[in-house]
Amino acid sequence: MNKIQLPTGYLFTDDYEKGQLETLSIGDYGKHVNVKANFLGYDRPLNGVPNATCMPLSEKWVITLSTQYGCIMNCKFCDVPNVKWRGNATFDDLKKQLYSAFGLFPTVKYTERLNIHFARMGEPIFNDAVFEFAEWLAKEGKRAIKKDLGLRIEVIHPVLTTSLPRKLKDIRSRIERWTSIKNDLYNGQAGLQFSINSTNEVQRDDMFSGDSLSLRELSEIVSVLPDPVSRKYCLNFAFSTDFEINAVLLRALFDPEKFMIKITPIHNNTACRENKIETVDGYSSFAPYAKAEQELIDVGFDVLVFVPSMDEEDGLVTCGNAVLGGSELRLENNDMKIIGIKKE
**Using one digit for the tens of pLDDT, what is the confidence trace for 242-291?**
999 999 999 999 999 999 999 999 988 999 999 999 999 999 999 999 99
The pLDDT, as a whole number, for residue 141 is: 98
Residue 169 lies in a domain: yes
pLDDT at 319 over 90: no
The pLDDT tens digits for 57-66 are 999 999 999 9
Confidence at 222, pLDDT banded by 50, 70, 90: very high
Confidence at 45, pLDDT banded by 50, 70, 90: confident
Residue 26 lies in a domain: yes
Residue 341 lies in a domain: no
- CATH number, domain containing residue 218: 3.20.20.70
DSSP string over 313-324: HHTT-STT--GG
Report the mean per-residue pLDDT for the chain. Answer: 96
Spatial distance between the Cα atoms of 119 and 96, rounded to a whole number of angstroms: 16
pLDDT at 344 over 90: no
Residues 6+ apart with CB under 8 A from 183: 226, 228, 229
The pLDDT tens digits for 2-35 are 999 999 999 999 999 999 999 999 999 999 999 9
Cβ pair 81, 71 in contact under 8 A = yes
The pLDDT, as a whole number, for residue 150 is: 98
Residue 19 lies in a domain: yes
The pLDDT tens digits for 77-88 are 999 999 999 999
Cβ pair 339, 54 in contact under 8 A = yes
Cβ pair 156, 142 in contact under 8 A = yes
Residue 220, domain extent:
2-325
Residue 335 lies in a domain: no
Residues in the chain: 344
User: What is residue 138's DSSP assignment?
Assistant: I
pLDDT at 94 over 70: yes
The pLDDT, as a whole number, for residue 183 is: 98
The pLDDT, as a whole number, for residue 158 is: 98
Cβ pair 297, 38 in contact under 8 A = yes
Spatial distance between the Cα atoms of 139 and 147, rounded to a whole number of angstroms: 14
pLDDT at 314 over 90: yes
Spatial distance between the Cα atoms of 318 and 285, rounded to a whole number of angstroms: 18
The pLDDT tens digits for 187-203 are 999 999 999 999 999 99
Residue 344 lies in a domain: no
Spatial distance between the Cα atoms of 254 and 44, rounded to a whole number of angstroms: 27
Residue 337 lies in a domain: no
State the Rg of the chain over Cα.
19
Cβ pair 132, 93 in contact under 8 A = no
SS3 label, residue 235: strand
Query: What pairs with residue 261 in β-bridges?
Result: 235, 303
Q: How many domains does the chain have?
A: 1
Cβ pair 76, 207 in contact under 8 A = yes
Cβ pair 37, 31 in contact under 8 A = yes
Q: Is the dihedral of CA 252, 258, 263, 269 positive or negative?
A: negative
Q: Among 75-79, 108-112, 339-343, whose mean pLDDT is lowest? A: 339-343
The candidate with the shortest Cα–Cα distance to 338, out of 24, 11, 54, is 54
Confidence at 343, pLDDT banded by 50, 70, 90: low
